[in-house]
Structure 1
Amino acid sequence: MTDIKENQDTVLVAEYTLGLMEPKEAKDFAERLTHDDGLRAEYIRWTEYFAKLSNEIEAVEPPESLKADIQKRLFGEPEPERTPGRWFNIRWAGGLALALILAIVVLIDSPAPFTPTYTAQLTSADNNLAVTALYDEQLQSLKMTSFTGTPEAGRDFELWVIIGDQPPVSLGVMSSLKKGAITIAPALAKSLNGATLALSDEPLGGSPTGSPTGTVLVTATIQAI
């Protein structure tokens, strides 16, 4: 029976991470995350998994002929010049309408820009280790915009958030985090202002216990920009 519940929770965490839950269901599940260490660890695992999937997608440059092909399909072959008149006005108005439609489609499909509302600067006393973290409250997304320092062989740096007197919550290992943004659970996001970010030295792949096991190398307070 325990295995069935764990499998159900795994599916629920994946749905929550991808934003597939209904608002009330997501709110109730976020509340569970604040009290269930195992569930939070599962959430972090799924977050890192989906982040790695996007890192594997390589950018593709469109061929130079693409623009000409699109124009040909939209308007046909170029026509010989003719005296401006009613046809020109109709063609011009049609092209303008099409341009407006395309502009609206682009605006609808474009992802929201990353606009940081909170920041934290983690810097060691000798300046050999430094991390700048930016958080977008609207997107509930955390980015590492700069990173210096290298863990020892067979070790990893792991990032944690500490809210008040609550236990540290892992945000993932730096080898994954510095490649892109991660989504913060709503239950954590609403309390980030004034919380503490910490970077610890952990075994390769991160802490095996869900809590810091190595030396905490540097900490910083998350502050509003």
Structure 2
Amino acid sequence: MKADRHERNHALAAEYVLGTLTGAARRRFETWMLESPRVRRQVWYWERRFQALNGAIPERRPPAVVWRKVRGRIDRPGSGARNLWWPVGGLLAASLVIAVMLFWPAAPAPQRFVGVIQNSQAEPLWVLEARSEDGRRYLSAQGVQVDAPADGKAFELWLLPRSGAAISMGLLPTADEEQAAALTEEHLQVLRRSRTLAVSLEPAGGSPTGQPTGPVLYQVRMVTL
């Protein structure tokens, strides 16, 4: 195997994951993988990139006419000479895919955060779930065993950055109810960094100032699934 060159190795790793690296070349590359942690990392990189692409493309079954045309070309007399071009065509196709993948960012992997807000007796009050997938971002809250606060008050949920002002995520539901709020990309970035939300007691309809005005009753740290 030739000297370890970054760009060349990346191309070989991509061909290996695609399955277009075959025969003795594939066996040599597998031996090299056992010897080189760097080459193994390059293979893992391409496995993640192609897996993300696979998940972003909806599965579709080709029409039957396509298979008939492929079969007709394969079985056509004299096709043996044309078959000599198949390896060349395969390499060209692999090169095209590799070039596209180098400049086409991988689809973001789905993200999911969950948290349970509990009272002082460790009883669950709300179950929170934040999701980011298929271009949709939202934060949902499911009331478990919490009654509406007295005196016309409301429970309000806040996203707490590591620094700066709290961000309102809306009012929380009571038992057996569920509410959801849209998350912006900025909200999601804050959530990734701090993982912390809080609940305050506010006037009916929520805080009139855009910041917590009543006592902060609960906090929760979200975890990633």
State the TM-score bracket (shorter-chain normalisation).
0.3 to 0.5
Please, what TM-score do these two structures have when normalized by structure 2? 0.45
Q: Which has the larger radius of gyration?
A: 2
**Larger relative contact order (Cα-Cα within 8 Å, sequence gap ≥ 6):** 1
Please, what TM-score do these two structures have when normalized by structure 1? 0.45
